[in-house]
Each structure stands twice: as C-alpha cells, then as structure tokens.
Amino acid sequence: MRAAVMGAGSWGTAYGMLLADAGHDVVLWGRDPQLCEAVNGTHVNAKYLPGVVLPERLSASADPGSALARAELVVLAVPSQTLRQNLTAWGSAVPGEVPVVSLMKGLELQTRQRMSQVVSDVLGTPARLVAVVSGPNLAREIAAHQPAATVVACVDEHVAQRVQAASLTPYFRPYTNVDVVGVELGGVVKNVIALATGMAEGMGFGDNTKASIITRGLAEMTRLGVAMGADPLTFAGLAGVGDLVATCMSPLSRNRTFGENLGRGMTLDDVVAATHQTAEGVKSSRAVLDLARDLGVDMPIAEHVVAVVHEGMAPKDMVRSIMSRETKAER
C-alpha cells in the first residue's frame, strides 16, 4: 500500500523505514524542505537518524498535500501540542475512510484530550479508524533493526489487525489491543515518570531509587488509567511497564535525558535550549496532573515533576518532599 508518515523526526522516520521494509511505498512529510531534499538525495535523515541508510521505497516531501495524496494509511508523528494546528492546516488533504495511526505520546494542554481524540475532533475520523501505536520503541534501536515489539490499539480489532499486518517486519513485532485509552495513556504517563527517573540519575542515585520510581510510577499510571476506564492489565504489558522501563532506563530516551540534565543542576531554560527534540513529558505533565486531580487520583510523582519543571522546585527538594510523605500500605 501507499503510506504517508506525517513527521520526519526520529520516530516518524524509523516507523516509515519499517513500513517500507514491510513492502509499502512510504512518503515522509517534513516541514523542512532541505531535510526532505537530503532524504531524497542521500537516503539519510542526517538530522534525526544520522548514519542510518533509509530504504529505497521511502521518499520525502515538504508538501503535505503531495505526501497525503492517494495514501491508504496515514501515520501521525508530529509533536503532540502541534497536532491540532497541523491537522487543521492539512484539512481535506487527509484521505477519508483510511486508518489514521497516532505515534504521539502526549495530552493536549488546553483540552486534556488524548491524541486519538484530537484526530477525531479535528478530522471527524470515526474512532473505528483511529489506531494508536505504543510500546518500548526507541527510534534509534528500531532504525538499527534491533528486535522490538509494540502494541497497535484500536476500538475496531479488524483495523488494529490491518495496521499490525502493515507494520510487521522480521525485527518489529506488533500485538493488537482494543484498549485505546490504556495504551495511549501509558505512552503519556511514562514520559512524566521518565523525567523523575532521569533526575534521580542526574543526582547520582542508584538502581534502588530508579526501580522505586518506576514501580511507584506504574502504580500512578494504573490508577489514572482505571479511573478513565482502561483495562488494568494493559499496564502490565508492552504499552505499560514495557514502555515505562525502556523510557526510564535508556540514555536514548529524550525525557529521561531531560530529567538527568535537571538533576545535574542545569536550569530549565538551559535544558530546553540543549534539547533538540521534543520531550513530551515536560508539557504533558501538567495536563496529566490536572486530569488526575479532576478524577481524584493520587499521583505524587507526577505532582512533584510538575513542581520542578513548571513551578521552580529544585530536584533535591523534590526528593526530600516525596520521601517525607505519610507512610501507607502499598497499593
């Protein structure tokens, strides 16, 4: 089939690669014409995946209409806070009645909507055609053809299976799930927990500390998901604990690296200036906490991440505050 991947960052490019490796013709849209020209001329996205040779079946275009023309599968890989603006601009160029796949892991700040909800809200695409891909999928490793698994979630299992089949390669194994809320929420909250884990790493704490943050972060993720109607078992799978562990522990993770720099004493402005790609957890953390408060869900790690990245709390004070909370039973 012909697929359009809208977003030429590291994950959009890597997903476009695997679609091409699966036998599809892929057009990668990027807003930078020079980057697109370089991809077409050298078959390398030097800005986001330097040194990785892209498949011949993948081309690039800075024209969204050209990228979307005749697409039988549309994949969205732009920063979450720009999705509504981009979809509004692309408008009628997005083909109707084709699966629309979200690779994004964020909550829209103004509405607190998940990305699949933004797609349906702007494009009018029915939920049965909106799929979400989420799992332990660090782009650089997938681009290197290292074995990985993921979850394709859609309320229509047949559509999930279509996207699963389209994405299957010898190095990339997708599983299906109908729990869109749980799969999507896991991808959002794990970025917030990764910021906290990164801060612990930056402050020199060891594996006990990081394992504690990850485990209690999983509890927060699960509590919020259940309050939103998700299946708690989703968080024990690839889109939950799998993605959480990869994002919290890998130096390839943007959110972990962002938190690590904060933990080392860099100011927020300095870290933002040094970060070349979007760390989704920074902006989504406030929306996650607001949503949790609306639902009466206790999320102390998320609360303290917001205090650091939005309210000026020092990471060392965050640790002191979390460790001095009232003791209680584990749940």
The catalytic residue positions are 190
Helices 300-311, 207-227: axis angle to 10 degrees equals 100
Residue 255 CA to chain centroid, in angstroms?
10
**Cα–Cα dist 117/111, whole Å:** 10
**Cα–Cα dist 279/105, whole Å:** 10
Sheet bearing 25-29, strands edge to edge = 58-61, 25-29, 2-6, 73-76, 100-102, 130-134, 148-153, 172-177
**Cα–Cα dist 188/51, whole Å:** 29
Is residue 239 within 8 A of residue 131, CB to CB? The reply is: no
Q: Which burial class, exposed, middle or buried, applies to 323 when counting CB atoms under 10 A from its CB (0-12, 13-18, 19+)?
A: exposed
**Cα–Cα dist 131/152, whole Å:** 7
**Cα–Cα dist 89/93, whole Å:** 9
Q: Which burial class, exposed, middle or buried, applies to 41 when counting CB atoms under 10 A from its CB (0-12, 13-18, 19+)?
A: exposed
Q: Which burial class, exposed, middle or buried, applies to 192 when counting CB atoms under 10 A from its CB (0-12, 13-18, 19+)?
A: buried
Is residue 167 within 8 A of residue 18, CB to CB? The reply is: yes
